[in-house]
């Protein structure tokens, strides 16, 4: 059965920005990716982002990206939204990746703000429009100025929302005021891309999460969003507060590093990292165990 979507929740409500498992020698671990994808969907995820930054997309080849999308679709594509990260700082390359993802069968695209070259707003508008024009797939923008160097301004978001295939935004801007205006004016489905702000963003109109900590706490995030949707603000707040040690611990250093460490501690597929990312030190691993335990995560 195909995953359910609505205009308000085009990719579901809880999605994990999935890590890419590697073998001990650093090769792509497709079997591990399929097992991890199945675990995450069984835990309650409506969708998975593959080939995003959390999937170490800067260090995987185009061929590996294609293989990963196909493998995850084979494993869980009939019961979860599989959204392919295709963002680069080269519009032509992003368009190529988008078309490849469509050929592979992806259900949607995640397009991050072009990073490092710091385009003006008109450049952002044309970049995202070119991606949306390139395929028939729905597109989720990804606004993360802390990494890209450039925010997508509200006026640009409103312009982009007029495109029939630009349907959502992953917000990692960390600005609830700007998010409030952009949600109200654009009508896009709004997904929190900052786990610490999951609940606050729901309160101003977000429909769900694209999460990293959901690798280890998907049921709790589902409980949070279900409580919010049912109007039980107190319960949603209680869940949010219980998860604060997890939100903090998983981002004491780069999130891919801690996520792969947490998955390894749980006996789940993860494997090593590709440079320039490096494994946690023993001291950092010990702190991660403390943080996860404080948030109720079983290791």
Domain ranges of the chain: 14-232
Instruction: Grade residue 2 by pLDDT with cuts at 50, 70 and 90.
Output: low
- Please provide the DSSP assignment of 185-228 as one string: HH--EEEE--GGGHHHHHHTT--EEEESTHHHHHHHHHHHHHHH
Summarize the confidence of residues 113-124 as an average pLDDT.
97
pLDDT computed for residue 271 by the predictor: 97
User: Which residues are annotated as part of the binding site for pyruvate?
Assistant: 54, 210
User: Considering 65, 170, 173, 260, which one is annotated as catalytic?
Assistant: 170
Mean pLDDT of the chain: 97
Say how far apart CA 159 and CA 125 lie, in whole Å: 8
pLDDT for residue 5 is more than 70 = no
Summarize the confidence of residues 47-53 as an average pLDDT.
98
CATH number for the domain running over 14-232: 3.20.20.70
Catalytic status, residue 260: no
pLDDT for residue 1 is more than 60 = no
Q: Helix, strand, or coil here: 116?
A: coil
Catalytic status, residue 115: no
pLDDT computed for residue 223 by the predictor: 98
Say how far apart CA 284 and CA 290 lie, in whole Å: 10
Consecutive H or E run containing 141: strand 139-143
pLDDT for residue 3 is more than 80 = no
User: Considering 65, 115, 142, 260, which one is annotated as catalytic?
Assistant: 142
pLDDT, tens digit (0-9, with 9 covering 90-100), for 181-220: 999 999 999 999 999 999 999 999 999 999 999 999 999 9
| Secondary-structure percent of the chain, ordered helix, strand, coil, rounded to 5 | 50, 15, 35
Say how far apart CA 292 and CA 217 lie, in whole Å: 10
Say how far apart CA 83 and CA 101 lie, in whole Å: 9
pLDDT computed for residue 299 by the predictor: 86
């Amino acid at each position: 059965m195909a995953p359910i979507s609505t205009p308000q929740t085009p990719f579901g409500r809880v999605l994990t920005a999935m890590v890419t498992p590697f073998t001990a020698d650093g090769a792509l671990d497709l079997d591990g990716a399929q097992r991890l994808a199945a675990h995450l969907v069984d835990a309650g995820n409506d969708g998975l982002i593959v080939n995003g930054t959390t999937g170490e997309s800067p260090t995987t080849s185009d061929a590996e990206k294609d293989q990963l999308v196909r493998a995850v679709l084979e494993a869980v594509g009939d019961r979860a939204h599989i959204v392919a990260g295709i963002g680069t700082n080269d519009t032509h390359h992003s368009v190529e990746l988008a078309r490849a993802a469509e050929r592979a069968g992806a259900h949607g695209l995640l397009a991050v703000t072009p990073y490092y070259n710091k385009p003006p707003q008109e450049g952002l508008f044309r970049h995202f429009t070119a991606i949306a024009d390139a395929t028939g797939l729905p597109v989720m923008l990804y606004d993360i100025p802390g990494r890209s160097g450039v925010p997508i301004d509200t006026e640009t978001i409103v312009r982009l929302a007029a495109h029939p295939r630009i349907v959502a935004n992953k917000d990692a801007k960390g600005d609830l005021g700007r998010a409030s205006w952009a949600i109200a004016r654009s009508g896009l489905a709004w997904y929190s891309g900052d786990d610490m702000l999951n609940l606050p963003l729901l309160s101003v109109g977000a429909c769900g999460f694209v999460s990293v900590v959901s690798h280890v706490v998907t049921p709790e995030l589902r409980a949070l969003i279900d409580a919010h949707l049912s109007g039980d603000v107190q319960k949603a707040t209680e869940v949010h507060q219980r998860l604060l040690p997890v939100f903090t611990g998983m981002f004491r250093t780069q999130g891919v590093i801690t996520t792969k460490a947490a998955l390894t501690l749980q006996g789940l597929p993860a494997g090593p990292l590709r440079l320039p990312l490096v494994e946690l030190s023993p001291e950092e691993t010990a702190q991660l165990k403390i943080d996860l335990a404080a948030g109720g995560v079983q290791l």
